[in-house]
Each structure stands twice: as structure tokens, then as C-alpha cells.
């Protein structure tokens, strides 16, 4: 594809900025249109497994305060914290996949990705309201302005304007669960939560994950519980500590102490969406949550957005001037959609496993956890290198 081609990226989140960074490395210019007046991220923490870490290193965008984990997938029983299984992430992860697993604050990652794109790439306060495909693609913004591009990439999240404009609404279904999230200062957290570990507490109908962030300054926690009337899919909705605690009545007191320190926790509904049958229409395509929103049980949402960005940039860079961008976008979708569909489906099924009530099925699950090796069993996720597919 010609270096003079105009590529518009709608959305300046993790996926959108990663796309601009990989396009820049490939010698292609892009403009990122972000509706917010400033670049910022909410949602606190995320896991960077090896498949994400290696791409961030390629962009020189692994935050300096990322926390390398020594222990991961440490499953603990809800009542007393009995360890059901755990994985070595210090040595085994590097041996198997050539990389460590880290935890990152989303704001730190966004800042690192912003530093990887040329100055002037991101235009703030530009909310895209329509996408019209003609000889070129015309973008209309809420402020009345227009822009034209040869290729448009919708990286505008789960409520994507670009996806809707393409006639792919991806109507959600109610998952029956909602999530609490919070950041707890390390000084207020129990010692168990300060270790370089990703710990998952599992129990009837509920689970909670916690891990340190930002060089150990914070502890990130995310809990998934029955929704019971909470259907707002918004990262800005909040709850009270009392509401959060009530969901974990009778659980280990160390976990409840962590919740007590959670300030004003966020709470949002988890809505489910079936995989799209297609992402691209002519010179317009989708990326990240706009293309394949998934439930958070494998912690792969951000990773899949960055993988998309790496593959898409390579496809566009190798496109012939004779075939145009459509063939590049077809190839991108062909390479990416089977993997993201598999992850969507795997994430969908994980909630049931984590939330089994006490009884024979739960006991069988716990025995399987103890005998298994999640790090190796999920090699199809962590061993994937988006720069080489």
C-alpha cells in the first residue's frame, strides 16, 4: 500500500494507538480520531501475558513500572483460601514462551503507546457519528467537521459507531453477571495481595481476582458476581463497599479486608455478544472490542486488540497498489477471526467453571485444577506471535 494513503483510526484507546504505532513502524501514516478531550483510560489493571508482552517490547511500549509476576492462576478456595493450584510464571513462562507475564495499569500502557506514535497523529474531541463509503471514505464528526480517508479502522470499542454504520450491530445478550472493580493502595491491602501473583478466589456463583500494579503501589481487584438487576454496561458506574462486601459474605476474611479497602468500587454489567460473521466492508474494517468483544475470564481483551493491530498493519503494508486495501483487509480478517472467535467462545464458557456450587462437580473441578498445567494447556494463547503469523 502506498505510504501516501490516508488511514483513519476511529478510537484512541489501547487498540487504536497500537494500530497507529504498528502502522508507523510499517512506514504508513495514520490519523487517530478520539472522541475524548484527553487521552485517558479507566478500568485500572490488565494482564500482559507473553502474547501481549512480546508485541509491547516490539513497540518499546512496555511501561517501566509493569510488575513481573512470579505466580499466576493461583486458584484459592472461597471459604479459607486453600490453594487449589498455581503456576510458575517466573521461569516456566519465559522457558515456554520467551517472555514473562506482567500486570499493567491501563493508563500507563496508554501513555506508552501514545509515545510510540508521531506527534500530531491523535486528534482529540472528534466523535465520529457517521461513515460513508464512496470513491473514498467520508467521516462525519459531532462538531460538524468532515475527513476523508482511503482506509478506515473502527477501534471504537464495544459500542462501536463504525460497526453500526457497517450494519453489524452485534446486539448484546444479558450474561446474568456483573463485575466490581477497584484499586486499593498497597498500604491498605493485606499482605497476601501484595505478592507478585495473580490470585483467583473461586466460589459458588462468584469469583474475585487480584494482583499488584504500578510497581506495587496498588492492588487491582475485579470480581464477577450475579447481576440481579444491574444491567448498565459502563466503566463509570459505581457501587458502595457495603454492596461489594455483601456479595462475599462468608468468604475468607483476608479477601473481605481487601474489599473493605476498595473505596468507591466500579460496577458494570457483563453483556455477551456472538462473534461477528465479518469485520470488513470495502475499505472499512473493525478491530479489538469493536470486532470481537469478549467476557473477561481469560484476560485477553487488550492483548487481542494489540494482536489485531500488528497483523492489520502488516497486511496493509504488504498490499499491492493493484489490489487496493480491500484485499489487505480480507487477509487481515482471514488471519485474525478464527483466533478471536475461539477466545470469545472459551471466555464464554469459563464463567460456569469458576462459579460452580460446592458439591461433586466442584470437587472434580478442583482435582482437575491440581492435576493440570494451565500454562502449557493454554499454549495456543500465549505462544502466538502476531508479528509472525
* CATH code linked to domain 7-171+273-382: 3.50.50.60
User: How far apart, in whole angstroms, are the C-alpha atoms of residue 315 and residue 318?
Assistant: 5
- Per-residue pLDDT tens over the stretch 93-135: 999 999 999 999 999 999 999 999 999 999 999 999 999 998 8
The separation between the first and the last C-alpha atoms of the chain, rounded to the nearest angstrom, is 19
User: How far apart, in whole angstroms, are the C-alpha atoms of residue 354 and residue 64?
Assistant: 33
User: How far apart, in whole angstroms, are the C-alpha atoms of residue 238 and residue 249?
Assistant: 20
pLDDT at 45 over 80: yes
pLDDT band at 300 (very low <50, low <70, confident <90, very high): very high
Angle formed at CA 248 by CA 289 and CA 183, multiple of 5 degrees: 50
For the CA atoms of the chain, what is the radius of gyration?
21
**Residue 158: burial class (beta carbons within 10 Å; 0-12, 13-18, 19+):** middle
- Per-residue pLDDT tens over the stretch 132-182: 998 899 999 999 999 999 999 999 998 899 999 888 766 677 788 999 999
- Per-residue pLDDT tens over the stretch 67-94: 999 999 899 999 999 999 999 999 999 9
Query: DSSP 3-state assignment of 140?
Result: strand
Query: DSSP 3-state assignment of 146?
Result: strand
Cβ distance 226 to 217 under 8 Å?
no
| Confidence at residue 59, expressed as pLDDT on a 0 to 100 scale | 98
Which residue, among 183, 184, 13, 25, has the nearest Cα to 111 in the 3D structure?
13
Q: List the chain domain ranges.
A: 7-171+273-382
Judge whether 211 counts as a catalytic residue.
yes
Q: Is the dihedral of CA 343, 349, 351, 356 positive or negative?
A: negative
Q: Which of 33, 97, 102, 211 is catalytic?
A: 211
Query: DSSP 3-state assignment of 64?
Result: coil
Which are the contacts of 108, defined by CB distance < 8 A and separation ≥ 6?
Answer: 63, 65, 66, 214
State pTM to two decimals: 0.95
Amino acid at each position: 500500500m502506498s505510504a501516501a494513503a490516508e488511514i483513519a483510526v476511529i478510537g484512541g484507546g489501547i487498540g487504536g494507538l497500537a494500530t497507529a504505532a504498528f502502522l508507523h513502524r510499517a512506514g504508513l501514516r495514520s490519523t487517530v480520531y478520539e472522541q475524548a478531550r484527553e487521552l485517558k483510560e479507566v478500568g485500572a489493571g490488565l494482564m500482559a501475558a507473553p502474547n501481549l508482552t512480546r508485541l509491547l517490547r516490539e513497540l518499546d511500549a512496555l511501561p517501566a513500572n509493569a510488575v513481573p509476576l512470579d505466580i499466576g492462576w493461583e486458584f484459592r478456595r472461597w471459604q479459607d483460601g486453600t490453594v487449589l493450584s498455581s503456576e510458575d510464571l517466573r521461569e516456566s513462562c519465559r522457558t515456554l514462551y520467551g517472555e514473562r507475564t506482567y500486570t499493567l495499569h491501563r493508563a500507563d500502557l496508554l501513555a506508552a503507546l501514545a509515545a510510540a506514535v508521531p506527534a500530531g497523529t491523535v486528534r482529540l474531541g472528534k466523535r465520529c457519528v457517521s461513515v460513508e463509503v464512496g470513491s473514498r471514505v467520508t467521516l462525519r464528526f459531532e462538531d460538524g467537521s468532515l475527513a476523508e480517508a482511503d482506509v478506515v479502522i473502527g477501534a471504537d470499542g464495544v459500542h462501536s459507531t463504525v460497526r453500526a454504520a457497517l450494519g453489524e450491530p452485534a446486539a448484546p445478550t444479558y450474561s446474568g453477571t456483573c463485575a466490581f472493580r477497584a484499586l486499593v493502595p498497597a498500604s491498605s491491602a493485606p499482605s497476601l495481595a501484595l505478592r507478585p501473583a495473580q490470585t483467583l478466589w473461586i466460589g459458588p456463583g462468584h469469583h474475585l481476582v487480584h494482583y499488584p500494579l504500578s510497581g506495587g503501589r496498588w492492588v487491582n481487584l475485579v470480581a464477577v458476581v450475579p447481576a440481579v438487576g444491574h444491567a448498565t454496561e459502563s466503566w463509570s458506574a459505581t457501587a458502595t463497599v457495603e454492596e461489594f462486601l455483601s456479595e462475599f459474605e462468608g468468604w475468607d476474611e483476608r479477601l473481605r479486608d481487601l474489599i473493605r479497602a476498595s473505596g468507591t468500587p466500579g460496577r458494570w454489567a457483563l453483556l455477551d455478544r456472538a462473534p461477528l460473521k465479518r469485520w470488513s466492508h470495502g475499505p472499512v474494517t473493525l478491530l479489538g472490542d469493536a470486532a470481537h468483544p469478549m467476557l473477561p475470564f481469560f484476560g485477553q481483551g487488550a492483548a487481542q486488540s494489540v494482536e489485531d493491530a500488528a497483523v492489520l498493519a502488516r497486511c496493509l503494508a504488504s498490499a499491492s497498489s493493484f489490489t487496493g486495501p480491500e484485499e489487505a483487509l480480507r487477509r487481515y480478517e482471514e488471519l485474525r477471526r478464527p483466533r478471536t472467535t475461539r477466545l470469545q467462545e472459551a471466555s464464554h464458557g469459563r464463567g460456569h467453571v469458576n462459579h460452580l456450587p460446592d458439591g461433586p462437580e466442584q470437587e472434580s473441578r478442583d482435582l482437575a485444577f491440581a492435576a493440570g498445567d494451565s500454562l502449557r494447556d493454554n499454549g495456543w494463547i500465549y505462544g502466538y506471535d502476531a508479528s509472525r503469523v
